Amino acid sequence: MSTKGEGQRPDSAPWYADGLRFGCTASGRCCSNHGEHAYVYLMEAEVRALAGALEMEEGEFREAHTREEEGWTLLEPQGSSCVFLGGTGQCGVYEARPVQCRTWPFWRENLTSPEAFEALVESICAGAGCGRLYSAEQVLNIADSTEAWYAGELDEFPASAQVGTAPEAFPPRMAPKGG
């Protein structure tokens, strides 16, 4: 689990002008606390989607799985991991996972410098530097769309701005631990 991106969009060619590679290895490490990064932010549409996926009423879902903090609705973790993280490192609510889960690791805060990317992504995820090559334009689109989503500027999150985790490459999704 991690924080919502807050970095600034680069004015000139970014350090990742040649693109960045990323391929999900289903380690589950981005879904577990690392340092201060323990937040999954939920917009209203995400609460509805998760409640629907779990066949819960929205109020029931909020009661069971969220907390309010500084005006944000946050997914309540279970211990040091997301409550929906399965035992083999896979998301139990994959089809309804929140936007920040769809766009990691290409958040602005992770992209501010190679050092930031190393500290916030490469140091915890073996999939960084491997797998599909995302162009700088694609990376920026993902980062910008993530910011716009959490600023409430988008009605729907664009499919083109999601990081592919090739669900067909994974075994069937696991049931959530909670709910």
Q: Tell me, what DSSP letter sits at residue 118? A: I
Q: Which stretch binds ligand SF4 (CB under 6 A): 94-102, 118-126, 137-145, 156-164?
A: 94-102
Q: Which of 24, 51, 93, 99 binds ligand SF4 (CB under 6 A)?
A: 93
Residue pair 41/122 in contact (Cβ under 8 Å)? The answer is no
Contact flag: residue 82 with ligand SF4 (CB under 6 A): yes
Tell me the C-alpha distance between 23 and 132, whole Å.
Answer: 6
Q: Which stretch binds ligand SF4 (CB under 6 A): 53-61, 90-98, 131-139, 149-157?
A: 90-98
Beta strands in the chain (DSSP E): 20-22, 41-42, 66-69, 72-75, 132-134
Contact flag: residue 1 with ligand SF4 (CB under 6 A): yes
Site string (16-35) toward ligand SF4, x via CB under 6 A: ---------------x----
Bridge partners of 75, per DSSP, are 66
- Kindly tell me which of 4 and 97 has the beta carbon lying closer to ligand SF4: 97
Tell me the C-alpha distance between 178 and 154, whole Å.
Answer: 29
Residue 62, phi then psi, degrees to nearest 5: -60, -45
Contact flag: residue 125 with ligand SF4 (CB under 6 A): no
- For residue 115, the minimal CB distance to ligand SF4 (Å) is 25
Residue pair 95/12 in contact (Cβ under 8 Å)? The answer is no
Q: Smallest Cα–Cα separation from 42: which of 17, 73, 12, 64?
A: 73
Residue 107: what residue type?
W
Q: Which of 51, 101, 111, 140 binds ligand SF4 (CB under 6 A)?
A: 101
Q: Which stretch binds ligand SF4 (CB under 6 A): 5-13, 60-68, 91-99, 147-155?
A: 91-99
Q: Which stretch binds ligand SF4 (CB under 6 A): 52-60, 89-97, 118-126, 134-142?
A: 89-97
Q: Which residues bind ligand SF4 (CB under 6 A)?
A: 1, 31, 40, 82, 84-85, 91, 93, 97-98, 101
